[in-house]
Structure 1
Amino acid sequence: MRKLFVPVLAAAILAGLAAFVIFGHEPREVEFEVGGRVVKSSGPLEYLHHKLLVPQTFAESLLGVKIRWDRPAPLPKGVYYKNKVAVLMYHHLSRKPLLPSILSVDRFNDQMKLLKQGGYHVITMEQYRRFMLENGKIPDNAVLLTFDDGYESFYKLAFPILRKYGYTAVDFVIVSDVDNPGKGGLPKLTWQQMREMKKFGMGFYNHTYNLHFYDVVDAEGGKEPALVAQRYIDDETRNEYNEEYYRRVQGDLGLAEKRLREELGNTDSVLAFPYGAYNDKVLNVTSSLGIPLTFTVKEGLTSRGEFNAGRINGGSNLRTPAQTIDRIRQFAPQRELTVNGRSVLLAGVQPELRNGRLLVPLDDICRTLHIAMDYDRHNGTVKLTLPGGHHA
């Protein structure tokens, strides 16, 4: 690794150019704390999907490195991607679907057949967990199959097909629906059905206890997903305080984890966010509960270190099985980010070209260089610390 150059940073201080990060529609100035001094970047910054993107040229000057965004080396024939996972997402299956969002049994079967024929390798959640958390290896063209909501069709329709192909899958269940089977709606899984399927490698994880709905967030009746909403308390004409919100969400997710342990003997924790909705507060709660892996609905392949993973929707009945499986290849990276010739692991956010400038994720680059990055969004400061505790 090339040495980081403090003189370059001093020059940046003299330049004194303002940096702005886009938080929705709110621009904020961000300052970099370097060796006790303050450095302002040359150009716009953006905070996207919990990552700080900075101009390539600024990152190079700041860190004293060379950054490239080029086409990756060609892969062997039949390999579409390496060290990544295509996480496919499904919900409800039916023999005669009435809605496009419900996948037919025949199309699901054909998708599984195409995965086998296409050289894809379905992995277990345990393989995925080790890949993400313990530097474990996975096969090329790895696929993880996931279902949401805990519908009984997973047991009656998907499970036999999965066994036929020798595949495993996981289902993220709304735990209150299992504890209260008389709630109505589409039939849900029972604890006994899940225990039976676990013997064949299926897994069942957290989709909240009872926060899979839209809750009211203002006096006009506006709604947001309950997991991220600071709900409106009509009697008191106010929204939840932060402490109330944390207590409610932590209690709900913690109860779901407790019930999954009690009924299924779960020893690991995974959460899929309802509607894919999350924020920093929710991520703080999951961390406090020891839930290291989460899933959204943002589409794309998942890399090691991307603990909040995207998923590719496989459950649309509007696509043919071939169209669904072929979509996986569309998310294979067309370019590779390198720093001093070393590949940078991109955990969720790709570099972006904005107004002729390439923006790169500073978090991922710093992690590759073993530089600790402390970004205080509230105060708009970034502190960089080299290995050994020295500030950059």
Structure 2
Amino acid sequence: MKSQHYVLKLLTLITMLSLIMACSTDLGSKSAAPSITLNGEKIENSGLVQKDDAMYIPASFITDTLGATFETPEEGDVEAGSEELAEGVYYTNKVGVLMYHAVMEDPTDGSIIAPEQFRDHLQWLKDEGFNPISMEQYVAFIHEGGEVPDNAVLITFDDGYENFYTYAYPALKEFNYPAVNFVIVSGVDDPSIPGIKKLSWDQMREMKEHNIAFHNHTFDMHVYGAVNAEGIEQPAAISNLYLPDEKRVETDEEYIARVTEDLSKAEQRLEEELGNTIRAIAFPYGAYNERLLGILDELDIKTSFTVKPGINTSEDALGFRINGGRSDKTAEELLAGLKPEPVELNDNAMLLNGKLVSFSKIIEAKGDQPALYPLREVSNALGLFIGWDSATKTVTLAQ
């Protein structure tokens, strides 16, 4: 009887402990809500909300923290899109820029496409009446008032992988299409660096003879680096990095010196090996800010490319690009961005820094909670870098 009583007490104690642990775990999960940092600094009271695997922020964060204008549009704010175009002409005096990365026989993830897929894309461009142009034509259009054909397209690749030579180059030659590849120069100079094998200088010299250009994707800054002692990471090209040996963050002067040296070295090697006369860059991860743009000015790197989607006018020195490098979508789905639809006002449209943006979803105001807007879409529209640190549940922004 005593043993039964003892067992009953033990079971009761175990149950109570389990309930206490469950409550503690629940409290802990609530306290570990996502946070947000801007340029390495944690933002308190940001209003950040996570809902349905997406992050949302209130208008006050957009205006007060990001310093952007944010307004409800009126009919007159919609750009006149009634320009009469000939049949088969989707835009004129503009350039669509396509972005790719790797081409492999057996794609290992969605950001890599197979050779036959890339060839399908080139065939789609031809069938739909698009006109691929060279990097020289694009630079002349952006900076010198040069003319481009209707439905002009610039085909770009990032990272300088050798599979570009093996698979993309033969297809480009077949269609007689120009293209440009932005190379991580350190991987070309030192093939022993781990990762997907890079192009060689000899391969690039051969391809240059067939109107393929090669430009700057930094010398060795295609990496994330810690920006504080907690280990929050951001792209190295836009961030003051944490120096663990000295237990401090780079000064602005040290940041400028490091980035200037890297980009200058990349341009020097491209000029030495390929005779480049044009200086152009694709930002790693699409990340840039005013400090980086100032360094580009000092180095006379006038042409740059982001990963923001859109079609470029001659005023878009920070080039938009449409991502064509997905293996999980058809050519029609991926390249549909080259056929822009007329902009129309709807319930999800807002003016962000004077530009009409139609959000995929807006969480309506309810009680004391203000209306909330998708943080990633806001960031893309403003040209901000956005990242996610899963270890600390931190959204990282950089501008």
Q: Calculate the TM-score normalised by the size of structure 1.
A: 0.70
Q: Which amino acid in structure 2 is aligned with residue 327 of structure 1?
A: G
How much does 1:67 deviate? 7.1
Matched, 1:334 2:343: yes
107, 111, 114: which one pairs with 1:101? 111
- Asked whether 1:195 is paired with 2:224, we answer no
1:335: Cα distance to partner?
6.6
Aligned to 1:62: none
Kindly indicate whether residue 253 of structure 2 is the aligned counterpart of residue 243 of structure 1: yes
CA drift at 1:45: 12
Q: What SS does structure 1 have at the residue aligned with 2:222?
A: coil
Cα deviation per residue 1:224-245 (whole Å; 9 max; x = unaligned)?
0111111011222221110000
CA distance in 2, matches of 1:251, 1:349: 36
**Is it true that 1:182 corresponds to 2:224 in the alignment?**
no
Q: Which runs of 4+ in 1 moved over 6 A?
A: 23-26, 44-48, 54-57
TM-score (norm 2): 0.69
Determine if the alignment matches structure 1 residue 351 to structure 2 residue 361: no
Letter paired with 2:260: Q
Q: 1:311 aligns with which of 321, 325, 335?
A: 321
Report the CA distance between 1:310 and its aligned residue.
Answer: 1.4
* Structure 1: distance between partners of 2:262 and 2:63: 29
Q: Distance in 2 between matches of 1:350 and 1:322?
A: 27
> Residue 213 in 1 paired to residue 223 in 2?
yes
Does the 8 A contact of 1:45 with 1:55 survive in 2? no
Question: Structure 1 residues 299 and 69, CA, compared in 2 at 3 Å: closer, same or farther?
Answer: closer
Residue in structure 1 matched with residue 144 of structure 2 by the alignment = 134
Q: Which amino acid aligns with 1:258?
A: Q
CA distances 1:334-380 after superposition (whole Å, capped 9, x unpaired): 379xxxxxxxxxxx97335899xxxxxxxxxxxxxxxxxxxxxxxxx
* 1:76 equivalent in structure 2: 86
Alignment match, 1:223? 233
Segments of structure 2 that go 5 or more residues without pairing to the other structure are: 1-37, 45-59, 346-352, 363-399
Amino acid at match of 1:312: I
| Cα deviation 1:5-35 (Å, max 9, x = unaligned) | xxxxxxxxxxxxxxxxxx9979xxxxxxxxx
SS of the residue 1:89 aligns to: strand
Would the aligned equivalents of 1:90 and 1:148 in 2 still touch at CA under 8 Å? yes
Which amino acid is the alignment partner of residue 162 of structure 2? Answer: E
- Distance in 2, Cα, partners of 1:304 & 1:184: 39
Pair 295,199 (structure 1): closer, same or farther in 2 beyond 3 Å: same
Larger radius of gyration: 2
Matching residue of 1:322:
332
Change (3 A) 1:51 1:132: farther
Pair 1:284 & 2:272 matched: no
Cα deviation, 1:36-67, whole Å, max 9, x if unaligned, reads xxxxxxxx99779x99658699xxxxxxxx97
Structure 1 partner of 2:50: none
Q: Distance in 2 between matches of 1:277 and 1:113?
A: 31
Percent of residue pairs identical: 43
Aligned to 1:4: none
| Alignment partners' CA distance in 1, 2:221 and 2:302 | 19
In structure 2, the partner of 1:264 is 274
- Secondary structure at the aligned position of 1:203 is classed as strand
Q: Is the contact made by 2:310 and 2:322 (CA closer than 8 Å) also made in structure 1?
A: yes
Q: Which has the higher strand share?
A: 1
User: Match of 1:69, SS?
Assistant: coil
- Give the partner amino acid of 1:269: R
1:101-160 deviations in whole A, cap 9, x for unaligned?
110101100110010010000011111001000011111111100000000011111001
Query: What is the match of residue 365 of structure 1?
Result: none
- CA distance, structure 1, for counterparts of residue 158 and residue 138 of structure 2: 17
Q: Give the structure 2 partner of residue 36 of structure 1.
A: none
Cα root mean square deviation, aligned = 3.1
Distance 2:108 2:61 in 1: 46
**1:232 matched to which residue of 2?**
242
Q: Which residue of the other structure, out of 98, 119, 122, is the alignment partner of 1:88?
A: 98
Say if 2:133 and 2:153, in contact at 8 Å, map to a contact too. Answer: yes
Q: Does structure 2 conserve the Cα–Cα contact (< 8 Å) formed by 1:84 and 1:304?
A: yes
Residue type of the alignment partner of 2:323: N
Q: Residues of 2 paired with 1:269 and 1:147: CA distance? A: 16
Residue number in structure 1 paired with 2:154: 144
2-structure distance, mates of 1:323, 1:293 = 28
